[in-house]
Amino acid sequence: MSMLTSPDGSAISRFAFGTMQFGGKADARASGAMFEAAIGAGINHFDTAHLYTNGASEEFLGQLAAPLRDHLVIATKVGYRDGTSSSQLQRDFDLSRKRLGMEMVDILYLHRFDSQTPLEAQLETLVAMKEAGQFRFIGVSNFAAWQVMKAHAILAQSGHAIDIIQPMYNLVKRQAEVELLPMCQSERIACAPYSPLGGGLLTGKYLDGSQGRLTEDDRYAARYAPDHMHAAAKGLSDLALALGVHSATLAAAWVARHPAAPMPILSASAAEQMAPSLAAVSFDMDEDLYGQLSALCPTPPPATDRIEET
């Protein structure tokens, strides 16, 4: 279980809500409805980023979160582009805090591993910001396990650590099981994975020809192109129908069921759209159902690739 807490000491919720659509597909009214629905489901962990919807995501979230600020865990991310200097990280985070209307946020992530800027320099900047009281927990997003542990080792020199990671993880994207999730268990690092619904693939909506990210965004279309992923989505849909449960509920609950206790980041563009995934918060998945779902998609080989020993 994660040791991360809100400013008032409340435990971080087992699910998070991602506000990528705030100020984009979701206007102020829709964003407010989703925020209230997440709060109503017991979620107190909200995720955004400096680059989401040109800053509107942070602005909307800040306004909505203000009345409950001390009870919430607010996360944002900086450093998405290669070549982001330490001074740029500080400027971007200063702007993010201004948009959020918060002197301090709870989690600050490096959004991606920067191949052009020394990690030591970026982490030195994060440590200075943390020690200045600008945020409470250090996170990294989209890092490989070796990159996380490199950061962990660098931070240890100044008495700090990686507190949380944010990888992609869902039923058809299981690379995190090879090293990232075992690493989190071993090193007591929290994990808040994104895309638990596989860009909408695992909601079942594409089975009837509906439109969405997989048909509108070339990156998502390529990411979820393999036939075995679509076969797994069909198997998930069939199982959900047999159980009388929405596919999205099962997909999100499956992510949370991993022994490393990941905290899936749910997201949507409208409150009615998010209802099935929010139902995962209270869904009790037993070991048998977890095994049935896991069998729908190949388990990735171990890091040593000694498949015969698994």
pLDDT at 210: 66
The tens-digit pLDDT sequence of the chain (310 residues) is 468 999 999 999 999 999 999 999 999 999 999 999 999 999 999 999 999 999 999 999 999 999 999 999 999 999 999 999 999 999 999 999 999 999 999 999 999 999 999 999 999 999 999 999 999 999 999 999 999 999 999 999 999 999 999 999 999 999 999 999 999 999 999 999 999 999 999 998 877 766 677 777 788 888 888 999 999 999 999 999 999 999 999 999 999 999 999 999 999 999 999 999 999 999 999 999 999 999 999 999 999 887 777 6
* Architecture per CATH, 1-166: Alpha-Beta Barrel (3.20)
pLDDT at 88: 97
Q: Which of 269, 301, 185, 173 is nearest to 226 (CA)?
A: 173
* Sequence spans of domains, the chain: 1-166
Enumerate the active-site residues.
Answer: 52
